[in-house]
């Protein structure tokens, strides 16, 4: 619950710049996906659902200044294992390949049309592409 609250505290309603192993798919996590994957037993589901949905709804509503920086290795791992790096697997199981594909397809579309900025850090080169 504390981690969820920190996410909310650290998320601006008009911008996101995040560096993590794989692209930040937060804006594609809908209430339906939250219900599908949030199945941890013995936790306050209703309170957690509210906090999680509040956080992801902020990300969904960012209209500009959404920047996700990630590595090729992290992107590859996400495609292969479906694990969301910032959500512990004991609370959120790996995503199904179809959900990973949907998120990455939407990320690609939004990167192409300029809604968001996606930057890949290449390990062999000391630069951001």
pLDDT above 80: residue 23: yes
> What are the beta bridge partners of residue 68?
18, 118
CA separation, residue 34 to residues 15, 54, 99, 112 (Å) = 22, 11, 12, 26
pLDDT one-digit tens code per residue, 64-115: 888 999 999 999 999 999 998 877 777 788 999 999 999 999 999 999 999 9
Quote the mean pLDDT of the chain.
84
* pLDDT value of residue 44: 78
**pLDDT-above-90 percentage for the chain:** 43
Name which of 4-8, 27-31, 49-53 the model is least confident about: 4-8
110: Cβ contacts below 8 Å, ≥ 6 apart: 66, 116
Q: Do residues 66 and 27 lie in contact, with contact meaning Cβ atoms separated by under 8 Å?
A: yes
């Amino acid at each position: 619950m504390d981690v969820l609250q920190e996410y909310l505290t650290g998320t601006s309603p008009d911008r996101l710049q995040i560096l993590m192993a794989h692209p930040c798919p937060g804006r594609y996590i809908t209430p339906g996906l939250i219900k599908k994957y949030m199945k941890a037993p013995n936790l306050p589901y209703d309170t957690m659902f509210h906090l999680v949905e509040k956080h992801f709804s902020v990300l969904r509503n960012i209209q500009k200044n959404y920047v996700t920086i990630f590595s090729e290795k992290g992107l590859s791992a996400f495609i292969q294992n479906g694990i969301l790096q910032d959500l512990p697997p004991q609370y959120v199981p790996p995503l199904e390949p179809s959900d990973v594909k949907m998120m990455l397809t939407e990320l690609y579309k939004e990167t192409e049309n300029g809604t968001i900025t996606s930057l890949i850090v290449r390990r062999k080169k000391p630069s951001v592409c």
